[in-house]
Each structure stands twice: as structure tokens, then as C-alpha cells.
Amino acid sequence: MAYPELVFDWSIHRELADNIWHAQMAGHPKVLTYNGPDMTLRKEQRKAAMHYQVDGDNYEIPHILSRDEYPFACTVEGGKAWVGHIPGRENSAQGGLIAGFLKRHHIIAGSGRAVKVPREGDQSPSWAGYQVVQIRSWCYPPSPVENPVTKP
């Protein structure tokens, strides 16, 4: 069964695609669960993602360009995110791409959908220069954990 894909084109959104790739290679999940439009929860997850602890003390991740978290704040997995720094226009574009994708494919919280972000390391031409997000049904078991690979 083919699933809808949200494609982050590296030639258009270079830092965004790289940030997702680096997060995945650092071990962040490739399967994400849409959490719905609960803005209070999103705000809490984003706040948690934008801070880190050292010896029990909380620190805010510095503002260098626009802070971009992965997994996305709209997912159950958000809040324990990888935070990269990308141009603001790419961060804004990401939000629009995700919102349009969710609407176009009628994905709502509890609808039995998950987001899978595969690795970019595949050398097949269809992967060259893209970071792809696919939708798959929850009725299938999650993919086994894969070992991170080095970027080609």
C-alpha cells in the first residue's frame, strides 16, 4: 500500500531537511504520531524542547537563527526534541507544509495515522536530495529500530 508523502526538498529547504536528517541519525524516532491541534500541549512541548538541563539546572537553548525542533511539536513524540537552527523562512515553510499535508490527507488526532520520516542515506535516485515524510496506518507494527548510519 502506498502512503501519502510530505517531501522536504533539500534544494529548497536545505537547512530544514538537514535538521530532520541529523535528528534521525542522532536516534530520534522515524515514526511520529500526530497529536492534534491542542495548542496548550504544543506550547508545553515546545517549551520543554527549547530547554536543557546540566546538573539539575535548566538552561534555554540559544536563539541562533530560528530554532527548529524535531520531532515536530504537533506530535506525541515532541517535547524531547532535537533542536537545530534554520532560517526563519524555512521554519515558517515547514509549518505550512505540515498543516497543508494534514488537511489534504484528513489526518486528525486519533484517526489512526502516524508519520514516518525515513532516512536519507538510501542512494536510489528517488531519494537524492529529499527528506520524505510518509503516512502509514497505525494497524501495522512500528518499524524495528534502525542503527544510525553516517551521512554519505
- 82-128 confidence digits (pLDDT tens): 888 889 899 889 888 888 888 887 777 755 454 555 444 444 333 34
- Pair 133, 8: CB distance under 8 Å: yes
The answer as to whether 83 is a domain residue is: yes
Bridge partners (DSSP) of residue 68 are: 84
The answer as to whether 85 is a domain residue is: yes
The answer as to whether 45 is a domain residue is: yes
- State the chain's mean pLDDT as an integer: 68
The answer as to whether 151 is a domain residue is: no
The answer as to whether 76 is a domain residue is: yes
The answer as to whether 60 is a domain residue is: yes
The answer as to whether 144 is a domain residue is: no
Instruction: Identify the pLDDT of residue 18.
Output: 84
Instruction: Identify the pLDDT of residue 151.
Output: 38
The residue that leads in pLDDT, 33 or 16, is 16
**Residue 145 in this model has a pLDDT that exceeds 50:** no
Rounded CA separation 56/145 (Å) = 30
**Where in the sequence is the domain holding 28, given as residue range(s)?**
5-137
Closest CA relative to residue 3, chosen from 100, 108, 114, 96: 114
The answer as to whether 102 is a domain residue is: yes
Domain count, the chain: 1
Instruction: Identify the pLDDT of residue 152.
Output: 42
